[in-house]
Amino acid sequence: MPDLLIVGSGSAGVAAAIEAAQRGAEVAVVEGGTLGGTCVNVGCVPSKTLLRAAESYHRARSSPFAGVKPGAATLDFGAVIEQKDALVTELRQHKYADVLDGLGVKVLHAQARFDEAGHLTLDGEPLAAGRILLATGAEASLPPIPGLRDAEPWTYVEALSPDALPERLLVIGAGAIGLELAQAYARLGSRVSVLEALPRIAPAEDEQLAAALHTTLTEEGIELVTGARVERVGRSENGEYRATFTQAERSRTLTGDRLLIATGRAARTRTLAL
């Protein structure tokens, strides 16, 4: 029986495992998906890699200085994604798997769930522990927009491992995730439109910074639509996404080859039976 059983192998879970193991505890980590959680797999590492690749391509093709003429640049989008995946795999091994192994922390690949008596089970089998720490993190949350779930949109997970670069990308949500992916895809060559229900983009940030960011993104060719209340999302037979929304009491529709939902995250606890 481990002294500490941690459910979730993301940044918080691994940090707790390291601290407990260094204090002499016997520790086990349970992971029902991919080791490493959000940051290394579908968060900071892949998103910033994609952003830097997009920035490099953008700067090679444009210049704000009259005396600096940009040269020809080519894009192999598949190679960009392959390099991103290689980095994720390397960091997941070195920063998570190797660290836990070096400290003697057991990693149990199983689905954790509490039974009716409140005991933790792994793939249906009970497992006792001195203490249990839940560190299951968060996942993308889909808003209750009619037709959205049936349309099978992207979340940040799919947007970071696409099969191809979409010609047109439609984004719902202008917070940090929506805007950084919108800019990355726009700089890589997609025509991007962003819908935000609130009166301005980046609503959680300083108003002056948000205004400056609005100007910059617009100058880069991104269509930003604020005050847009999305009424319905649909998908045609040829796969085209359509988002119908109301702005200033006027109904409009935007279309795209892909639809990214970036309206927030929710605790990943649905399968725990808390």
CATH code (residue 74) = 3.50.50.60
User: 149 and 36, same structural domain?
Assistant: no
User: 146 and 25, same structural domain?
Assistant: no
Q: Which of 136, 159, 177 is the last residue of a domain?
A: 136
User: 208 and 100, same structural domain?
Assistant: no
Burial class from Cβ neighbours inside 10 Å (0-12, 13-18, 19+) for residue 29 reads buried
The answer to whether residue 41 is domain-embedded is yes
Spatial separation of the C-alpha atoms in residues 80 and 50, rounded to whole Å: 7
The pLDDT, as a whole number, for residue 81 is 98
User: 173 and 132, same structural domain?
Assistant: no
pLDDT exceeds cutoff 90 at 64: no
* Average pLDDT for the chain: 97
User: 40 and 72, same structural domain?
Assistant: yes
The pLDDT, as a whole number, for residue 25 is 98
**Closest to 138 in 3D by CA, of 31, 267, 272, 33:** 267
Residues spanned by the domain of 106? 1-136
The answer to whether residue 272 is domain-embedded is no
User: 175 and 100, same structural domain?
Assistant: no
pLDDT tier for residue 71 given thresholds of 50, 70 and 90 = confident
Q: Which residues have a Cβ under 8 Å from the Cβ of 274 and sit 6 or more positions away?
A: 114
How many angstroms from the chain centroid is the CA of residue 179?
12
The answer to whether residue 131 is domain-embedded is yes
User: 184 and 115, same structural domain?
Assistant: no
pLDDT exceeds cutoff 90 at 87: yes
User: 103 and 13, same structural domain?
Assistant: yes
The pLDDT, as a whole number, for residue 261 is 98
User: 204 and 118, same structural domain?
Assistant: no
pTM summary value? 0.94
Domain count along the chain: 2
User: 116 and 152, same structural domain?
Assistant: no
Burial class from Cβ neighbours inside 10 Å (0-12, 13-18, 19+) for residue 74 reads exposed
The answer to whether residue 37 is domain-embedded is yes
The answer to whether residue 199 is domain-embedded is yes
**Closest to 5 in 3D by CA, of 36, 27, 25, 32:** 27
Q: Which of 76, 101, 136 is the last residue of a domain?
A: 136
**In angstroms, what is the C-alpha Rg of the chain?**
22
Assign residue 62 a region: left if phi > 0, alpha if psi is -120 to 50, beta otherwise?
A: beta
DSSP 49-76: HHHHHHHHHHHHH--SSTT---------
| Overall average pLDDT of the 158-184 stretch | 97
Residues 98-131 as b or e (16 or more Cβ within 10 Å = b) = eebeeeebebbebebbeeeeeebebeeeebebee
